[in-house]
């Protein structure tokens, strides 16, 4: 590995290029080491805090961490603290994050005019995903009047975006009550009507079954599962397919409604995911409407990328693959 001096100079150079490209959003990626030259290190900004996401025991390199912290506090406008999160450390405190610079963390951020509650130390990630930023914008732009279901909702940012866009009803479901409480806080921050927001703690497979038995329909359903998870009711394994999950939730999508499918499997090629979607769309009841890109700060800009993901995501621009499907119900066809 190169010396710390050379490494930090390269990292700082990329951060400056991101800023020069206009990366001034409150929540943005300033360095993606997997693509931009230092595998294992990601640097994100959330308001006044810089988050160093360590995927490869970088926490042991105290000089590197110190250099990044001091440089960031001195040179990045508005940055007042630095949080280090070591994803695979045995110490849960380090996984959730420790302050290595400054003494305060932001409680919220704003994106496209929407306020989101923030707790950067709640989980091993930051609790707010940057790669789905343009999906949140899509939901703001298309949400008016829609009944929206957000499955695997996590902290609920997608549902809150739809609510801010004028959705008539937003139902958010996740296994974790703690995560859904963040969704409630974000909804409240935006002054949205409480009676339009429903939070349901529960298993996806059981909940989908209840909805079908109740003949309950939604105009937009968001399917954003984790890469892999298991419960006694079912298994999620995005590397080996999304079809089962789509077929589980598709019956609750209203005629001419939207089904938004996200697959973030790093080793699944975009071509393989597209083939799966094309098989799902072979009939006349499901149509691929569009694919949404991941923002360039997350993928790395053309002039900063030095490496590629392990599996080619094309026609998507990132391993987080976002597809917008249009659903047509057989019982509504003439």
Domains and CATH numbers, the chain: 4-106 (3.30.750.80), 125-332 (3.40.50.150)
C-alpha Rg value of the chain to the nearest Å: 20
Q: What is the pLDDT of residue 332?
A: 81
Q: What is the pLDDT of residue 3?
A: 46
The pairing of beta strand 41-46 with beta strand 27-32: antiparallel
Q: What is the pLDDT of residue 4?
A: 54
Strands of 206-318, DSSP E: 218-223, 228-231, 234-237, 253-263, 286-292
Q: Which residues of the chain have pLDDT under 50?
A: 1-3
Q: How far apart are CA 215 and CA 212, in angstroms?
A: 5
Q: How far apart are CA 65 and CA 60, in angstroms?
A: 9
Please state the separation of Cα 47 from the chain's center in Å. 17
Choose among 150, 148, 109: nearest CA to 130: 109
The size of the chain, in residues, is: 334
Q: What is the pLDDT of residue 333?
A: 62
Instruction: Judge contact between 43 and 102, C-beta under 8 A.
Output: no
Q: What is the pLDDT of residue 7?
A: 81
Q: What is the pLDDT of residue 2?
A: 45
Encoded tokens for 18 = 């991101």
Instruction: Judge contact between 157 and 182, C-beta under 8 A.
Output: no
Find tokens 């110490």 and name the residue.
91
């Amino acid at each position: 590995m190169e010396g710390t001096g050379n490494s930090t100079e390269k990292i700082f150079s990329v951060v400056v290029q991101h800023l020069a490209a206009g990366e001034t959003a409150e929540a943005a990626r300033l360095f993606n080491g997997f693509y931009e030259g230092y595998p294992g290190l990601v640097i994100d900004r959330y308001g006044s805090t810089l988050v160093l996401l360590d995927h490869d025991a970088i926490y042991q390199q105290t000089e590197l961490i110190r250099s990044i912290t001091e440089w960031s506090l001195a040179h990045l406008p508005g940055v007042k603290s630095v949080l280090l999160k070591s994803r695979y450390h045995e110490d849960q405190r380090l996984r959730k994050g420790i302050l290595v610079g400054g003494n305060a963390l932001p409680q919220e951020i704003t994106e496209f005019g929407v306020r989101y509650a923030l707790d950067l130390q709640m989980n091993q990630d930051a609790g707010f995903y940057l790669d789905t930023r343009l999906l949140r914008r899509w939901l703001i732009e298309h949400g008016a009047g829609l009944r929206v279901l957000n499955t695997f909702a996590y902290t609920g940012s997608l549902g809150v975006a739809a609510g801010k866009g004028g959705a008539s009803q937003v139902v958010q479901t996740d296994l974790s009550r703690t995560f859904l409480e963040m969704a409630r806080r974000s909804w409240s921050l935006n002054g949205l009507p409480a009676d339009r927001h429903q939070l349901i703690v529960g298993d996806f497979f059981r909940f989908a079954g209840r909805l079908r038995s109740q003949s309950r329909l939604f105009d937009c359903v968001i399917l954003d599962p984790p890469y892999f998870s298991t419960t006694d009711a079912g298994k999620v394994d995005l590397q080996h397919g999304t079809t089962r999950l789509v077929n589980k939730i598709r019956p609750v999508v209203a005629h001419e409604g939207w089904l938004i499918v996200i697959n973030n499997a790093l080793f699944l090629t975009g071509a393989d995911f597209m083939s799966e979607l094309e098989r799902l769309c072979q009939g006349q009841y499901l149509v691929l409407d569009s694919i949404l890109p991941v923002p360039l700060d997350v993928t790395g800009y053309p002039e900063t990328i030095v490496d590629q993901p392990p599996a080619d995501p094309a026609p998507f621009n990132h391993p987080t693959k976002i597809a917008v499907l249009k659903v047509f119900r057989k019982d509504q066809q003439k």
